[in-house]
Amino acid sequence: MTTKKLNIQEFLDQDQKKDLLRLLTAGSVDDGKSTLIGRLMADSKMLYEDQLEALHRDSKRVGHAGEDIDYALLLDGLKAEREQGITIDVAYRYFSTAKRKFIIADTPGHEQYTRNMITGGSTANLAIILIDARYGVITQTKRHTYLANLLGIKHVVVAINKMDLVEFSEERFEEIRSTYKAFVTQLDIPDVTFIPLSALKGDNVVETSDRMPWYHGPSLLDFLENVHVSSDRNFTDLRYPVQYVLRPDIKFRGFSTSVASGIIKKGDEVMVLPSMKKSKVEKIVTYDKELDYAFPPQSVTVTLEDEIDISRGDMLVHPDNLPRVERQFEAMLVWMDENDMNLSTQFYIKHANNNTKARIDEIKYKVDVNTLEKSNIEKFKLNEIGRVVITTTKPLFFDPYKKNKQTGSFILIDPVTHNTCAVGMIIDHLGSENLPSRITDVDKEKIALGKSLIKTEERVQQLNQKGETIWITGLHGSGKNELAFSLEKKLFENGATAVLIDGSSVRSGLNRELDFSPADRAENLRRVAHICKLLNDQGIIAIASFISRNESLRSQVAEIIGEDRFHMFYMDATLDYCKNNKPELYELIEQGKTSNLPGVDLEYEVPTNAKLSFDPVKNEENLDAILDYLAQNKIYPNH
């Protein structure tokens, strides 16, 4: 063996400087995946002699490789799995060459083991997708590629195996390559490499094969040794999620964690989330020495110049580069539990050293991992994947997974079994303009189910009115309330039973914790819609006067109340009119003292489906018009 001649000091000094490549292999025994890994490990001379001996012994007894050494037996660890001839869980393998160290997450290929592949791939820089040259691109190939893509793996090696069984045909290789390419363009994998090989015979695994002279690329091992992965990390956006607060004595207060992304430097101005307080990095402390800067995935301890209250789960960031701070987001979710998803469960969520609770509000769709087709579904079962909307109890500090794996990933834990029942990759924050998403499918069902013993007709008969909602939309200061209050008074005088709801009446009590952010505005309206619905169910007319700034919000409101009970009117006032009519808020926003005012810094969408539009200066005429409308539609009076 050549190692005998090695200068050991040199070897150690060199070895210690190698970098680490984590890779994922997925495939079933039939693809020769275990054989390939066994071969990589054996041929890179890291197999210990006694393991080899045990291998020869085991191969004779339970091997599936005939006369050849069954490399797969090296890998299938657990007893049950060995007997079934299949790799069930994720197994980690280690080998090292002169250039690099490797950690292989070796996972099974069948669809029922999707969760295992997801587990193994979560830390991988690179994935090897195995294709049997005889069968080409099959369903499993697509599934594995999709999952690698989902996990954000940037480098994929398509290992076209068993080339010996197709006479090392270049034509066959090219055929498979073009089929795969056509498929992979739908996804987002920047680096795809094709290598024809025979794991069993060793062609193009470690040494390039002379049986495929038409192939001019590297052998698999050569490629793995040289592929450039260190730039795959995010060094741009500083995210320092505090993992542990270190207070050995009164003098020292350090905040420890593994840097999630970006670079933290001594002297940097940092902002603490969620308190938004600012300070400067005083020191970066490690056992070995103080550092001038730290980068991912270093585990360090930082001290700040100012005394700020910081606990586990808080995040240090640069003030000009903030993550999303929200309670709601959309994510691709993989269901990992034997038990089906239950939408009413309040899960524990663990994200960037933060623990809180979470609910799945809505399933947008399920993805068929074999065809990539999307479909609607009520709940997920084991191994199912899809897009969901999640709401958490306290805000999380996150980025989309594509931009930042560390702050874009989370796990859901079942509150009863404590199993990790799902894992997720945040897609993007849920645009506030698309809210309210808190109307879940479950809500819709409940809306449909509100049943009373008194029939609607009976209420109409008794009250001489239909319990429906008069919804007035328009800018702040447009004169909505003037109309709404006059209408309430007129209806009262005429003998109708009506209730008026406007912003100040709900915001002073029921909704007092909500602010004027788009998300809270949406939540405010959701609650108002539910009040209207309750009133209408009792046969009472609801008059609601709300800005309700866009179509999406208004249609959600209509959906809650019931489309046929929802009558929308638009107060069509110019912005100048509004500013003149109610100047206070408009002045504040001009002075930069407030924000989020529709018509100014939030868009107001003029409704296209209002029953009537009003000119605010003609309040009397408007009132008559709306009363006429009510009479014509037998809302009041009914008889």
Annotated binding site: 27-34, 106-110, 161-164
Stretch of 165-173, 197-205, 241-249, 582-590 contacting other proteins, by CB under 8 A:
241-249
- Cα-based distances in Å from 420 to 341, 361, 412: 12, 19, 6
Q: Residue 165 carries which DSSP code?
A: G
122 contributes a contact to other proteins by CB under 8 A = yes
Q: Among candidates 99, 104, 97, 100, which has minimal Cα distance to 34?
A: 104
419 contributes a contact to other proteins by CB under 8 A = yes
* Cβ 288 to other proteins shortest distance, Å: 8
266 contributes a contact to other proteins by CB under 8 A = no
Stretch of 79-87, 212-220, 541-549, 594-602 contacting other proteins, by CB under 8 A:
79-87
Q: Based on CB atoms, which residue is closest to other proteins, 76 or 488? A: 76
State how beta strands 155-161 and 191-196 pair: parallel
356 contributes a contact to other proteins by CB under 8 A = no
* Cβ 248 to other proteins shortest distance, Å: 3
Q: Based on CB atoms, which residue is closest to other proteins, 247 or 451? A: 247
Q: What is the C-alpha separation between 517 and 506, in angstroms, rounded?
A: 16
The beta strands (E) that lie in 27-153 are given as: 91-96, 100-107, 126-132
Q: What is the C-alpha separation between 256 and 302, in angstroms, rounded?
A: 6
Stretch of 5-13, 439-447, 541-549, 553-561 contacting other proteins, by CB under 8 A:
5-13
Could you list the residues known to form a binding site for GTP, using ranges. Answer: 27-34, 106-110, 161-164
226 contributes a contact to other proteins by CB under 8 A = no
Q: Based on CB atoms, which residue is closest to other proteins, 48 or 508? A: 48
* Per-position x/- string for 153-182, each x denoting binding to other proteins as judged by CB under 8 A, each - no binding: ------------------------------
Q: What is the C-alpha separation between 399 and 392, in angstroms, rounded?
A: 15
407 contributes a contact to other proteins by CB under 8 A = no
Stretch of 265-273, 291-299, 502-510, 546-554 contacting other proteins, by CB under 8 A:
291-299
285 contributes a contact to other proteins by CB under 8 A = yes
Stretch of 284-292, 491-499, 522-530, 571-579 contacting other proteins, by CB under 8 A:
284-292
How would you list the strands of the sheet with 315-317, edge to edge?
240-241, 315-317, 269-273, 277-285, 299-304, 254-258, 244-246
Q: Based on CB atoms, which residue is closest to other proteins, 313 or 539? A: 313
Q: Based on CB atoms, which residue is closest to other proteins, 114 or 481? A: 114
Report CA dihedral (141, 145, 151, 156) to the nearest 10 degrees.
120
Q: Based on CB atoms, which residue is closest to other proteins, 89 or 443? A: 89
485 contributes a contact to other proteins by CB under 8 A = no
Strand partners, 413: 348, 420
Q: What is the C-alpha separation between 43 and 207, in angstroms, rounded?
A: 9
333 contributes a contact to other proteins by CB under 8 A = no
Residues 354, 356, 362, 365, CA torsion sign:
positive
Category of 152 on φ-ψ map: left (φ > 0), alpha (ψ -120 to 50) or beta? left
14 contributes a contact to other proteins by CB under 8 A = no
Among 216, 320, 344, 418, binds other proteins (CB under 8 A): 418
CB 316 within 8 A of CB 242: yes
Q: Based on CB atoms, which residue is closest to other proteins, 55 or 184? A: 55
State how beta strands 354-367 and 347-351 pair: antiparallel
Considering only residues 20 to 49 of the shown chain, the ones binding other proteins according to CB under 8 A are: 20, 48-49
291 contributes a contact to other proteins by CB under 8 A = no
Tokens of 144: 């594995």
275 contributes a contact to other proteins by CB under 8 A = no
Could you check whether the bond before residue 637 is cis, i.e. omega within 30 degrees of 0?
yes
* Cβ 231 to other proteins shortest distance, Å: 8
- Cα-based distances in Å from 509 to 77, 514, 523: 62, 10, 14
218 contributes a contact to other proteins by CB under 8 A = no
- Cα-based distances in Å from 391 to 316, 357, 421, 436, 489: 23, 9, 17, 12, 41
* Cβ 460 to other proteins shortest distance, Å: 53
Could you check whether the bond before residue 319 is cis, i.e. omega within 30 degrees of 0?
no
Stretch of 6-14, 199-207, 215-223, 569-577 contacting other proteins, by CB under 8 A:
6-14
CB 115 within 8 A of CB 336: yes
**Residue that is written with structure tokens 């002169």 in the block:** 98
Residues 555, 557, 562, 565, CA torsion sign:
negative
91 contributes a contact to other proteins by CB under 8 A = yes
Among 187, 411, 427, 499, binds other proteins (CB under 8 A): 411
Tokens of 368: 């068929």
568 contributes a contact to other proteins by CB under 8 A = no
Tokens of 470: 């008069």
Q: For residue 72, which phi and psi values (nearest 5 degrees)?
A: -60, -30
* Cβ 82 to other proteins shortest distance, Å: 8
Q: What is the C-alpha separation between 275 and 69, in angstroms, rounded?
A: 61
265 contributes a contact to other proteins by CB under 8 A = no
Among 230, 494, 504, 595, binds other proteins (CB under 8 A): 230
Total residues in contact with other proteins, by rule CB under 8 A? 80
246 contributes a contact to other proteins by CB under 8 A = yes
Q: What is the C-alpha separation between 523 and 410, in angstroms, rounded?
A: 25
Stretch of 111-119, 153-161, 182-190, 511-519 contacting other proteins, by CB under 8 A:
111-119
Q: What is the C-alpha separation between 261 and 413, in angstroms, rounded?
A: 25
Strand partners, 208: none
427 contributes a contact to other proteins by CB under 8 A = no
Among 233, 429, 526, 554, binds other proteins (CB under 8 A): 233
19 contributes a contact to other proteins by CB under 8 A = yes
Q: Based on CB atoms, which residue is closest to other proteins, 101 or 490? A: 101
Among 43, 65, 99, 103, binds other proteins (CB under 8 A): 103
257 contributes a contact to other proteins by CB under 8 A = yes
